Amino acid sequence: MKDRLLLSVWLVAVVGITFIHDPLWLGSLLVAALGLAGRATPALLKRALIAIALVNVAVSLGFVLSASLAGEPWGLFVLRLNLRVLLLTFLTLWLARHLDLVRAVGFSRSLQFVVVLALGQIKTFQRMLTDYRMAFRSRSLGRPDLATRARSAGRQAGALLEKAELQATEVNLGMRSRGFFDDRT
């Protein structure tokens, strides 16, 4: 029951936050969330910032460039965007620490099945990524330069995407053969 309640509160919070456009309110909610997270705040904030950094910087710079060329103001939008994304990411990471997702969706057998499949895929990819990193480290005599690490990361990402595509096809076929999809139209 606790997990279902947490998931419901999080869903309401996500929808509610998308309707808030005042940076002062978004900032206040972020400060409140940081305060309520307790001792986990520094670790959660660091993970949230790392998770959103690349995309938010790219989107923000793109918007700043576009708005500057058009002669329009951009500061409020960029501030609002970054505060909202950071708040939503922080809340999601906090929720992931306190929620058993399988139990939270226990009201629906099919939804529970999909969550268990997804969690299994996540564990498989985490193990695979750890194996790739350990293999790369064991084959390097010293600390590799940035270009070598980037090439290795690219190959890892390619292998993970290929594995994801193959596993998605297999899971889809397995679910279809067990009648999970109703394709009779």
Same domain, 119 and 79: no
Number of domains the chain is built from: 2
73 and 114 share a domain?
Answer: no
CB 78 within 8 A of CB 63: yes
pLDDT at 185 over 70: no
Q: Are 80 and 18 contained in the same domain?
A: yes
**Best CA proximity match to 87, nearest among 131, 56, 109:** 56
What is the Cα–Cα distance from 140 to 134, expressed in whole angstroms?
10
Instruction: Report the percent of the chain where pLDDT is more than 70.
Output: 98
Write the CB contacts of 180 (distance below 8 Å, at least 6 apart in sequence). Answer: 110, 113
* Alpha helices (H) in 71-99, listed in sequence order: 75-98
Q: Are 56 and 82 in contact (CB under 8 A)?
A: yes
φ and ψ of 171, to 5 deg: -65, -40
- Residues 46, 92 within the same domain: yes
- Judge whether 163 and 122 are in contact, CB under 8 Å: no
Domain assignment of residue 183, yes or no: no
27-49 tens-digit pLDDT: 999 999 999 999 999 999 999 99
Q: Are residues 7 and 93 in the same domain?
A: yes
Examine the domain organization and report whether 75 and 119 are in the same domain.
no
Closest listed residue to residue 4, CA positions, set 95, 110, 118, 119: 95
- Of 121 and 18, the one with more pLDDT: 18
Domain span at 161? 107-177
How does pLDDT run across 132-168, given as a tens digit for each residue?
889 888 888 888 888 988 898 888 889 888 988 888 8
Boundary of a domain, candidates 84, 102, 120? 102
Where does a domain end: 85, 102, 119? 102
Query: Is 184 within the bounds of a domain?
Result: no
Among candidate residues 102, 121, 136, the one where a domain is terminated: 102
Average per-residue pLDDT in the chain? Answer: 90
Residue 183 pLDDT:
65
State both tokens at 62: 């793109």
Residues 17 and 93 in one domain: yes
Tracing tokens 């895929």 back to the chain, one arrives at 121
Same domain, 45 and 98: yes
